[in-house]
Chains A and B, each alone.
Chain A
């Protein structure tokens, strides 16, 4: 990915209403920003296209969503979307997204990340954002390699993968993102692959509708540095795309863990989904219960009481 991004100005979003006064959903033209600078054939194109589809389909307006990422090829995502967004710091998309989610419950927060960004430098944030069940959707575009920095081993690279930092083949055991997410308390965990567009859209939509921290692990091939990594999951390349069995109980944590543990390519679909109160909801309760004790009082009056207690 050697190209630099263009300096094309953003076209301002304009609210358009239909004759009946109902607001129209955004068109792709209104959502797309710069043409993506990814390498032709990169799996990330498909994820972006499906994000646009989701926005169109569900009539999400600019002012209702934020698109947040860290650093990496995959994390360039927000540049290509016309929305309030942030291209933050390597590994730190989730803290930023948490700040937005907790302070602005009116927004839906989408975070996009790569395998290095989410599981290596940002691994700790992944654990804690999941366990706190902060409401947002995280899509990790896993190419099992560091793309932006041109082919180093990532935490999901399989054993034996030859990279510029493992010329004899990777010796470190990879992590299994879905297993990790289930074990640290994510309340929604799904697996999909960029080569199956309908499936990606279905997973993103289900994730968005989930009230809590929803994690979509999306295989997304890096054609430049790890060509063919996911062929075994792509029927067009002679692989198999097995969906999660209909009989699987998504609320059964152990069953989900077992399903997530299967050898590659394993199963695709929603592996785990439980409803439990979000941090956002609990904090709204705390706010309400504190504020009910001070109804009708101005902020300075409340503060005055605090000062009085210092006497």
Chain B
């Protein structure tokens, strides 16, 4: 029996790889399993190579990574293009298309000889039973359902729903193709039973969705009624979701001529009193920089989502990377501070996006949400959202009294001044990028500039004490501390569980608030730490370096970072943790020179 199964499927774009994965995912979710599915493509628009990874488990799934339990190859050339994204080990069960002409003992995999290999005439079975080789995906679904115990009824329900519009002949053809897959597994059973154990929560009440849709839904929940943006992978689905939904709430989506216009309109709508948002990825973020700076100076609320992909420049548009943190924190001319938040999963992005709107409104500032390609496009089972858990904050508007001699940028104790909008009689002021005095009139006075900078920076002080924007897991006094963020945090969480199961004393800090750096949170965390590790997906280890700018943590805290698209595996992290235990033990035996 299995508690946790990782399945990787790869082929060429037309092979139905993704739809095979999706059929399985929907059925598994319906049965009550916890599931995550990621997709990965070559950079071609159509054709090209396509793959998906599914992780199905009886316990909540923390990340999709890890070596494959099951590998399905429709052709080996495409499969191999995914390299480390689809790692095959000797324990991996390999299923492949027989018409590739490869012998089961001569698989083109370097250095591994999987023990269990099935060569299956997938295309021929599809053609025979469904009358078309398009049904390959359904044959694969049948094979996987049979060997790994996904319920026949849930699968059939999914197939009927999926093909209903195409008529009964097509539905029945696909049902036969599915059955052919199942029959194959009965005739060729696995020696060792690898079927998934029964799920702990029967019956599906979970949502099955991805990070982009969840982010957009959160924006609507938070009260966003204006979106401006320009399509860019992997963020486009946010705009598309809102374009299907926002009209119901009296809102608007503007597909602008470029990212500059997108955020320009968002600033205009915010000035006009609306909660507004834009979403983009690296190249678009670069274009938005100038206008985001104005929004900081003019103290206008807005949310800017950056769904990170590999960079610099066009980089790797279809792959995840966490390399835009420096840009999010620092890409502005002048002294400028704006909050940067990062969600860790599809479930998490809902709360993080709502928080982003709340911070934007409360502090009258742009807020950047750093999502990434993996969170954005992976499908995940999510518990139904309990919206009553979330508070919605609105910007501080002037009272009638405050509209007499209205002072837009009044220097208050909190640094937050009431903000009006067109239509408020007496509330008129000039919103501008030129430095202003309290009334909003232009100034070139050094003294006024210094006071306004102080106001714009100090207003964020309370934010650095928001400990609820951080989670700490594990023994708080542990001598080994990990820090990880974004989609990689799930890998660290899994490594933490594995380490704890071995009796290692480890703890993990996951920030949702990346910037401003909450100095005391890190200081407190590192107080007990003798060895530490920042786990993240960027060449430079950007969070590690950002935190070091503000916090003096011991030199024995190191980064463990990889460039995007090179998955970080929980087992690799576990190896590092074991090494740290040994290092601590040996340093206790003989005091070592301070590392630097």
Interface set of A (CB-CB < 8 Å, partner B): 4-10, 12-15, 33-34, 61-66, 68, 71, 78-79, 82-89, 92, 94-100, 102-104, 106-107, 124-125, 127-128, 283, 286-287, 290-291, 293-294, 299-300, 302-303, 306-307, 310-311
The interface size bin for chain B is: 35 or more
Q: A7 contacts B441, CB within 8 Å?
A: yes
**Cα A88 to Cα B274 with chains together (Å):** 18
Could you list 20 examples of A-B contacts with CB < 8 Å? A33-B430, A34-B441, A71-B433, A86-B431, A94-B261, A95-B260, A96-B265, A96-B268, A99-B267, A99-B270, A99-B272, A103-B225, A103-B269, A107-B423, A124-B261, A125-B264, A290-B247, A300-B221, A303-B217, A310-B213
Q: Is the CB of B422 within 8 A of A302?
A: no
B434 touches A87 (CB 8 A): yes
Most central of B206, B217, B248, B273 by chain A CB within 10 Å: B248
User: Top 8 nearest A-B pairs by Cβ distance?
Assistant: A99-B268, A95-B264, A99-B265, A84-B422, A96-B268, A87-B432, A95-B261, A128-B257
Is the beta-carbon distance between A307 and B269 smaller than 8 angstroms? no
Known A89-B264, A306-B217; contact A13-B425, beta-carbon cutoff 8 A:
yes
Q: How long is the Cα–Cα vector from A34 to B274 in the complex, in angstroms?
A: 29
Give the Cβ gap from A44 to chain B, nearest Cβ, in Å. Answer: 17
User: In the bound complex, how far is the Cα of B265 from the Cα of A103, in angstroms?
Assistant: 9
Interface pair A287/B250, CB less than 8 Å apart: yes
Closest to A107 in B: B422
Within 8 A of A (CB), among B439-482: 439-445
B250 contacts which chain A residues (CB < 8 A)? 287, 291
Residue picked from B266, B426, B428, most chain A C-beta under 10 Å: B428
**A66-B432 Cα distance, complex, nearest whole Å:** 13
B405 touches which one: A12, A15, A127 (CB < 8 A)? A12
0/1 string, B398-422, CB within 8 A of A gives 1: 0000011110000000000000111
Which residues on the B side are within 8 Å of A61 (C-beta)?
425
- CB-defined contacts of A33 to chain B, threshold 8 Å: 430
Instruction: Let me know if A307 and B207 touch, CB within 8 A.
Output: yes
Shortest C-beta distance, B2 to chain A (Å), equals 25
Tell me how far the C-beta of B121 lies from the nearest C-beta in chain A, rounded to whole angstroms: 36
Q: Does B16 contact A (CB under 8 A)?
A: no
How far apart are the CA atoms of A15 and B442 in the complex, in Å? 26
- A100: chain B residues at CB < 8 Å are 268-269, 271-272, 422
**Complex alpha-carbon distance, A97 and B266, angstroms:** 10
With a 10 A CB-CB cut-off, give which of A10, A15, A106 has the most chain B CB atoms.
A10
B344 at the interface (CB under 8 A from A): no
> Cα distance A62–B225 when bound, in Å?
24
**CB distance B265 to A10 under 8 Å?**
no
The answer to whether A10 and B441 touch across the interface, beta carbons within 8 angstroms, is yes
Cβ contacts under 8 Å, A13 to chain B = 425-426, 428
Whether the Cβ atoms of A96 and B430 lie closer than 8 Å is no
Name B221's contact: one of A83, A102, A294, A303 (CB within 8 Å): A303
- The CA of A79 and the CA of B225, in the complex, are separated in Å by 29
CA distance A97 to B267 in the complex (A): 9
Q: Is B384 an interface residue (CB 8 A)?
A: yes
The answer to whether B517 has its CB under 8 Å from any CB of chain A is no
The smallest beta-carbon distance between A90 and chain B, in angstroms, is 9
Query: What chain B residues lie within 8 Å of A62 (beta carbons)?
Result: 425, 428
Q: Is the CB of B249 within 8 A of A299?
A: yes
Given contacts A102-B226, A103-B226, A103-B276, 15 further A-B contacts (CB under 8 A): A10-B406, A12-B426, A63-B427, A64-B423, A66-B272, A84-B421, A95-B261, A99-B264, A104-B272, A124-B261, A128-B256, A283-B247, A286-B247, A299-B249, A303-B221
Cβ contacts under 8 Å, A290 to chain B: 247-248
* B258 in contact with A102 (CB, 8 Å): no
Q: Decide yes or no: A86 and B423 within 8 Å by CB, A103-B274, A294-B248, A310-B207 being known contacts.
A: no
Contact A7 B430 (CB under 8 A): no
Residues B248 and A87 in contact, CB atoms below 8 Å apart? no
B588 contacts the other chain (CB 8 A): no
Closest to B298 in A: A86
- Bound: A67/B433 CA distance, A: 15
Q: Distance in Å from the Cβ of B231 to the closest Cβ of chain A?
A: 15
* Given the contacts A92-B260, A102-B252, A4 and B207 also touching, CB distance less than 8 Å: no
Instruction: Return B216 CB to nearest CB of chain A, in Å.
Output: 10
Within 8 A of A (CB), among B203-220: 204-209, 213, 217, 220
Which residues on the A side are within 8 Å of B269 (C-beta)? Answer: 99-100, 102-103
Complex: how many Å from CA A103 to CA B423? Answer: 13
Q: A14-B426, A92-B291 are contacts. A99–B247 as well, Cβ < 8 Å?
A: no
| B:261-300 near A, CB below 8 Å | 261-274, 276, 290-291, 294
Q: Is the CB of B265 within 8 A of A95?
A: yes
Do A303 and B220 contact each other (CB < 8 Å), given the known contacts A82-B428, A106-B423? yes
Q: A79-B430, A95-B268, A102-B269 are in contact. Are A12 and B274 (CB under 8 A)?
A: no
Q: A89–B444 Cα gap in the complex (Å)?
A: 18
Q: How far is the CB of B169 from chain A (nearest CB, A)?
A: 28
Q: Is the CB of B290 within 8 A of A89?
A: yes
Known interface pairs A4-B444, A7-B442, A10-B439. Does A86 touch B425 (Cβ–Cβ under 8 Å)? no
Quick check: B405 and A92 within 8 Å, CB to CB?
no
Least distance between A254 CB and chain B CB atoms (Å): 26
Instruction: A95 to B229: give the CA distance in the assembly, Å.
Output: 11
Known: A92-B291, A104-B273, A310-B209. A86 touches B424 (CB 8 A): no
Check A84 against B265 for contact (C-beta < 8 Å). Answer: no
Distance (Å) between the CB of A294 and the closest chain B CB? Answer: 6
CA distance A102 to B406 in the complex (A): 26
A274 to chain B, nearest CB (A): 22
- Among B208, B249, B387, B404, the one with the most A-chain Cβ atoms within 10 Å of its Cβ is B249
Neighbouring B residues of A92 by C-beta, 8 Å: 260-261, 264, 291
Shortest B580–chain A CB gap in Å is: 41
Q: Which A residues lie within 8 Å of B441 (CB)?
A: 5-10, 34
What's the nearest-Cβ distance from chain A to residue B94, in Å? 33
| Given A96-B271, A102-B269, A85 contacting B252 (CB threshold 8 A) | no
B228 beta carbon closer than 8 Å to chain A: yes
A117 to chain B, nearest CB (A): 13
User: A98, B217: Cβ atoms under 8 Å?
Assistant: no
Please give, as numbers and ranges, the residues of chain B lying within 8 Å of A68 by CB-CB distance: 268
The residues of A that contact B256 with a CB separation of less than 8 Å are: 95, 98, 128
Chain A residue nearest to B264 (CB atoms) is A95
Determine if A85 and B254 form an interchain contact, defined as CB atoms under 8 angstroms apart: no
Residue of A nearest to B428 (CB): A84
**Contact bitstring B507-532, A, C-beta under 8 A = 1, else 0:** 00000000000000000000000000
**C-alpha spacing A293/B323, complex, angstroms:** 43
CB of B63 closer than 8 Å to a CB of A: no
Residues of A within 8 A of B272 (CB): 66, 99-100, 103-104, 107
Q: Which residues of A contact B220 (CB under 8 A)?
A: 299, 303, 306
| Interface status of B51 (Cβ within 8 A of chain A) | no
Cα A290 to Cα B387 with chains together (Å) = 23
Q: Once the chains bind, are B387 and A300 in contact (CB under 8 Å)?
A: yes
Also in contact, A78 and B426, with CB within 8 A (given A99-B226, A291-B250) = no
- Complex contact A87–B265 (CB within 8 A): no
With contacts A97-B268, A107-B422 taken as known, whether A311 is within 8 angstroms of B433 at the C-beta atoms is no
Please give, as numbers and ranges, the residues of chain B lying within 8 Å of A283 by CB-CB distance.
Answer: 247, 252
Complex Cα–Cα for A88 and B271 (A): 11
- Nearest chain A residue, comparing its CB with the CB of B208: A310
CB pair B443 A124 closer than 8 Å? no
B248 engages A311 (CB within 8 Å): no
CA distance A15 to B426 in the complex (A): 8
Known: A7-B437, A102-B254, A306-B245. A96 touches B267 (CB 8 A): yes
Q: Is the CB of A291 within 8 A of B248?
A: yes
Residue B385 is within 8 A (CB to CB) of chain A in the complex:
yes
Inter-chain contacts of A87 with B (CB < 8 A): 430-434
CB of B429 closer than 8 Å to a CB of A: yes
Report chain B residues within 8 Å CB of A98.
254, 256, 261, 264-265, 268
A100 to B290 CA separation, bound complex (whole angstroms): 19
Q: How far is the CA of A299 from the CA of B225 in the complex (A)?
A: 12
